Amino acid sequence: MKVTLCIVLSVCLCVSASRKSTYSQGSGLRQIAQGSADQANSAVANQHAAAKQAAFVAKNTLAQSAAQASATAQAALAGKQVLLQGIEQQLREAQAAFEGETQQLRQAQRAADTAQQTAQQATQQVNAIQAALNAAQTTADQANQAASEAAGELAAQRAMVGAAQQRVNQINEQLVSVRIDYEATQAAAQRATAAAQTAQASAAEAGAAAAAAVPPPLPSRPVSGGHSDFSGADSFSDSYYY
């Protein structure tokens, strides 16, 4: 019995000392149990043989040996059970850790997927912004070119306006000069017309006076002589008018 208790205590101490050597300890206990079983079988065989040949003392001694071997086997079984329970506990802990790591892996996978989607969306936004920037740059270049062309057209138009303004000024100057000449000519023409009218009136008055001063014609005098005198008066009047 003392040997059995020592075996059980040794097994418990070995289990509590370290779980890392579980497999090696289990192997030693299995050998102990196998050896005890072999001893028990041998004792039983010897008992049957002794029953035929020896006395009660020999049978009792063999029975005690068999009982002691059985107790040793039971102690080894108890130790094996302790090791089995320890391994099962380690398995449960390992499974729990595996499940925890698996859960963290799923979370990390979801986070990675979310980050990948965010990166793709950011890339799409960058591409859209780049396309808009390129379009804006193209529009700006076109606007600058149009502005340059418009500036050139504006300069040319200003030059044309300046030339037209200069032409207008020249024509205005000519118009002023021509208007002055026209007014002077008009005044001279008016004076000439007035003088002509005065001369015609004077000529008419002189003609009338001359006609009144001529005596009546004689019957024997030719008409042609009197006609000659009147024609001379008309010639005088015409020459005075011109």
Structural contact between residues 114 and 47, judged by C-beta atoms closer than 8 angstroms: no
CA 11, CA 29: separation in Å to the nearest integer?
8
Structural contact between residues 73 and 3, judged by C-beta atoms closer than 8 angstroms: no
Which residue has 């200003």 as its token pair?
158
Could you give the count of Cα atoms lying within 13 Å of 134 in the half-sphere of its Cβ? 6
Structural contact between residues 14 and 21, judged by C-beta atoms closer than 8 angstroms: yes
Q: Please, which residues have CB within 8 angstroms of residue 43's CB and are 6 or more apart in sequence?
A: 62, 63, 65, 66, 69
Q: What is the pLDDT of residues 12-37, one digit of tens each?
A: 444 444 444 444 555 666 677 677 66
- As a whole number, mean pLDDT of residues 206-228 equals 62
CA 36, CA 186: separation in Å to the nearest integer?
164
Q: Which two tokens stand for residue 214?
A: 């001529």
pLDDT cut 70: percent of the chain above it: 67
The pLDDT score that the predictor gives to residue 54 is 56
Structural contact between residues 66 and 47, judged by C-beta atoms closer than 8 angstroms: yes
Give the amino acid at 220: S
The pLDDT score that the predictor gives to residue 235 is 41
Tell me the three state secondary structure of residue 214: coil
CA 81, CA 32: separation in Å to the nearest integer?
14
Q: What is the pLDDT of residues 125-168, one digit of tens each?
A: 999 999 999 999 999 999 999 898 888 888 998 899 989 999 99
pLDDT cut 90: percent of the chain above it: 25
Q: At residue 121, does pLDDT exceed 70?
A: yes
Structural contact between residues 234 and 206, judged by C-beta atoms closer than 8 angstroms: no
| Consecutive H or E run containing 113 | helix 56-213
